Amino acid sequence: MGERLILSIDAMGGDKAPEVVIDGMALFAKDMKHVDFLVHGDEAVLRDLLAQHGVLKGRYEIVHTQSVILNDMKASQALRRGKGSSMWNAVEAVKSGAAAASVSAGNTGALMAISMLLLRKMDGVKRPGMTALWPTVTGRAVILDVGANLEATGRQLLKFAIMGEAFARAALEIERPRIGILNVGSEDMKGHEEVRRAHELLQNCGLDIDYRGFVEGDDISAGAVDVVVTDGFTGNIAIKAGEGVAHMAGTFIRDALTATPWAKFGALLAASGLKRMKSRMDPARVNGGVLLGLNGVSVKSHGGTSAEGFATACRLAEHLVQSQYDDEIHANLAKIESGTLAQTQSQQS
């Protein structure tokens, strides 16, 4: 038997915590017999919840705290007053080496700030980038940055590409992820200065990565690339705009299939296909974001996710820990800091 892997869970973060968090953890634990848990939160509540899941027996330790980061707390407040909270402790366990990675469904801004403070930035990374997974016709894609930074220079976009590439290999289990930069057209001269600069850098960086050039908004769902690189402002708006349309489509489908008794009966007949459709569109399937560029894995689960969704976020943490994604990022960042890229740049300037 291999080594045990320990995940650090913020049991108190998220809209339906701690119930959904513990249910999701248990779902994940079923398939992942090599994983144990540090569970951060109110012991009195957690003890009973955890005891309900036979699969967790002997596989967890509760780290008691009554302090919780609230959803409306600003990142700056969380940094000042968050010490000792379930979220803080969950991330601190990664820093101390007590756990391999943490998962929290709590306040996004607070989690980014606390993770950045405790885990620190990797060498060569000025701006960590937040990832999101996006459902596509053929599978899933990674998009980053989705909100850690509002703007990004060409060079930062290059680093997002490097980080996203290694992340996609680990998270999506794709050997050679295809990378694209999000833009308003696919021709070289399209877009603002920073995306054109990033395009040039990626074309000439000499890294062994599969850069496919510019992609447009509709290319994301079409699965044109596996890694979509953009600034945090655009990325955040793109994923939320997409979520909004998916939600609307779901509403329209439900309306259509409940409009008449015949329609309801028809939906029953089509149940197997509809179930598959639901799972392909299910937000739980794409749950889990990571602030890339830190020394340690801190996974953010959607606050309103289901138990299945929280399990997906745990799976993401496990995949990242098992992979060499951080070594790969290190290596590629080092290459662009020193070698090929510096040459390319001096030739061009």
Minimum separation from the CB atom of position 58 to a copy of itself (A): 42
The helix/strand/coil state of 181 is strand
Minimum separation from the CB atom of position 297 to a copy of itself (A): 24
Task: Please give the Cα distance from 238 to 301 (Å, whole number).
Answer: 18
Applying CB under 8 A, the residues found at the interface with a copy of itself are 135-137, 147, 150-151, 182-184, 191-192, 216-222, 230, 232-234, 236-249, 251-253, 255-260, 262-263, 265-270, 272-274, 276-277, 280-281
Report the Cα 206 to chain-centroid distance in Å: 27
If the CB atoms of residues 241 and 331 are measured against a copy of itself, the closer one turns out to be: 241
Minimum separation from the CB atom of position 230 to a copy of itself (A): 8
Cβ count within 10 A of residue 40: 32
If the CB atoms of residues 85 and 234 are measured against a copy of itself, the closer one turns out to be: 234
Minimum separation from the CB atom of position 205 to a copy of itself (A): 24
If the CB atoms of residues 111 and 336 are measured against a copy of itself, the closer one turns out to be: 111
Q: Are 106 and 12 in contact (CB under 8 A)?
A: yes
The residue with tokens 């990664």 is: 94
Q: In sequence order, which ranges of 147-296 are alpha helices (DSSP H)? A: 154-171, 193-204, 217-222, 232-256, 261-269, 271-281
Q: Are 311 and 27 in contact (CB under 8 A)?
A: yes
Sequence-distant (6+) residues with CB within 8 A of 58 are: none
Task: Please give the Cα distance from 218 to 63 (Å, whole number).
Answer: 45
Minimum separation from the CB atom of position 234 to a copy of itself (A): 6
Query: What does the chain come to in residues?
Result: 349
If the CB atoms of residues 2 and 261 are measured against a copy of itself, the closer one turns out to be: 261
The helix/strand/coil state of 7 is strand
The residue with tokens 């980014």 is: 112
Query: Environment class of residue 248 by beta-carbon count within 10 Å: exposed (0-12), middle (13-18) or buried (19+)?
Result: exposed
Q: Are 212 and 180 in contact (CB under 8 A)?
A: yes
For residue 131, what are the β-bridge partners? Answer: 144
If the CB atoms of residues 81 and 278 are measured against a copy of itself, the closer one turns out to be: 278
Minimum separation from the CB atom of position 69 to a copy of itself (A): 17
If the CB atoms of residues 127 and 330 are measured against a copy of itself, the closer one turns out to be: 127
If the CB atoms of residues 81 and 252 are measured against a copy of itself, the closer one turns out to be: 252
- The DSSP letter of residue 128 is -
Minimum separation from the CB atom of position 218 to a copy of itself (A): 4
If the CB atoms of residues 203 and 279 are measured against a copy of itself, the closer one turns out to be: 279
Minimum separation from the CB atom of position 292 to a copy of itself (A): 18
